[in-house]
Structure 1
């Protein structure tokens, strides 16, 4: 299966899983906002879960629960990220952001509920028959999403907007390893955790992949088309924020992203040809237009 086909298949399964789970929740504004928030998107994190699981012979019917969980956390983070108190964005995935379509209170509550949903999905016996593996997934996602992972990165990003001295390259790398990289790492490691295998090779892969992903985002913010990207661009330059592009230059940022993709591909050597779809995912990350 090609990378594009695998990405679409994984995204479809995750969307079906989330839709089925939310079908019995009712029809109030918060539930409607939850459904809206998880719809669309690339589904890259869910794909990484399912593809890393495939490498360890974990069936898709099982890995989809962890994939849906991380996509729920990712959706919650985007809803909060778009709020006026944070990035104040009115467009996400080509559609009005949740707080614009409803209101801020509904957006906050819907995002909170999506975060809770993620851990409920991981606790399902369908996710893993072994309770110890379910607990490991819950604990590791809490770490990746919390105050030592994604939330820390978001706080660092907000602080950087008002800092008197722009961040250094080292500081930005650390920030993005938290804000973007933590969930990507968890996603790639999840398949090994489901199988009770060593996640180290996939962790190394995802560390390089996550940083390449963020550098590509910084490049898109400069070169991309807002209509294609489905979100507002040029906002980093407008805010005067230090980015990989501002520190490395456009060509330097592209070269660094290419080098990171090579590192990510090399980390998959223990899996041989069976990891070719994950290698293609790394190449996609720096070639995407949204």
Structure 2
């Protein structure tokens, strides 16, 4: 039986509470890293991994939880760096001052660096089989690196102030946000040693979910509130960022969101048909998108 989303989130948060400080050797750096990691958040990425493991009958051992929770460290690093003055220069994240506002840009940069490298330590410093750890580390590096999230951020910077096509914007989002969510789902298949055909469908679900997530985030910057989002809204248009509402309008963006969700649901149904297992647990994640 798959645990509820809240139960899985509690597992991840508990592991972070208990273990993060153990691997940091400098007190200010530790405080800066903990400040952002423990500030809250939906924990969607590691919980997607854990839910996928449970769908396939896997056990959520401490080693599995450690490897899955590594993704939250890496995701948080990306948020800290994204908020820096040299990037988006944001003052608010998860309803609190951003890391560089509290600790300064230098320490915030180092906190992000520490979380990025610690993520790979947690993926590999456990008792999972060596081949499994190697595959997880490889896929995580590809998702987070210069062919994945970092490339998406670079496209975002270069695209600011000029109008991208829909295909260019979709590709940007697939890298910037979709790559880590794709990995989150795929990692559950790697941990439970699924065949290639199943892993491909898991990756398809994750990619479609990731695109939907970014489109939704774009929409909330237009129709959401700072209180609800925990960060400043309305800044994408002010900074001439390329977004779905900016390119297609709110209605067009909503249509693109529904198409991405439909592709995710198609992959979910195909997974059920191929494996004979219920993937109803993914419904809780798809319920995140409420307009």
User: Which category of TM-score, normalised to the shorter sequence, fits these structures?
Assistant: over 0.9
1:188 maps to which of 185, 188, 208: 185
Alignment of 1:9-158 (within 5 A): 9-24=7-22, 25=24, 28-39=27-38, 40-61=40-61, 62-126=63-127, 128=128, 130-158=129-157
Asked whether the equivalents of residues 212 and 260 of structure 1 are also in contact (C-alpha less than 8 Å), the reply is yes
Q: Deviations over 1:82-135 (max 9, x none)?
A: 000000001000011000011111101111010111111111233x2x100100
1:280 aligned onto 2:279: no
CA RMSD of aligned residues (A): 1.7
Moved more, 9-18 or 152-161: 9-18
Partner Cα separation in structure 2 for residue 273 and residue 214 of structure 1: 28
Partner Cα separation in structure 2 for residue 80 and residue 259 of structure 1: 31
Partner Cα separation in structure 1 for residue 126 and residue 217 of structure 2: 36
Moved more, 5-14 or 112-121: 5-14
Asked whether the equivalents of residues 63 and 191 of structure 1 are also in contact (C-alpha less than 8 Å), the reply is no
What is the CA-CA distance between 1:67 and the residue it aligns to?
Answer: 2.0
1:177 aligned onto 2:174: yes
What is the CA-CA distance between 1:66 and the residue it aligns to?
Answer: 2.3
1:167 aligned onto 2:171: no
| 2:214 corresponds to | 214
Pair 1:273–1:193, CA change in 2 (3 A):
closer
Partner Cα separation in structure 2 for residue 8 and residue 280 of structure 1: 10
1:223 aligned onto 2:227: no
Asked whether the equivalents of residues 45 and 187 of structure 1 are also in contact (C-alpha less than 8 Å), the reply is yes
Partner Cα separation in structure 2 for residue 27 and residue 148 of structure 1: 32
Partner Cα separation in structure 2 for residue 59 and residue 22 of structure 1: 22
Partner Cα separation in structure 2 for residue 111 and residue 154 of structure 1: 15
Q: Secondary structure at the match of 1:45?
A: helix
Q: Secondary structure at the match of 1:275?
A: coil
Partner Cα separation in structure 2 for residue 276 and residue 258 of structure 1: 19
Partner Cα separation in structure 2 for residue 22 and residue 226 of structure 1: 29
Q: Which runs of 4+ in 1 moved over 4 A?
A: none
Moved more, 27-36 or 17-26: 17-26
Aligned residues between the structures: 281
Q: Secondary structure at the match of 1:68?
A: helix
Q: Deviations over 1:127-184 (max 9, x none)?
A: x2x100100001110111000000000111111114xx31111101000100000000
Partner Cα separation in structure 2 for residue 237 and residue 66 of structure 1: 37
What is the CA-CA distance between 1:273 and the residue it aligns to?
Answer: 6.2
Q: Secondary structure at the match of 1:84?
A: coil
What is the CA-CA distance between 1:236 and the residue it aligns to?
Answer: 0.8
Partner Cα separation in structure 1 for residue 80 and residue 176 of structure 2: 14
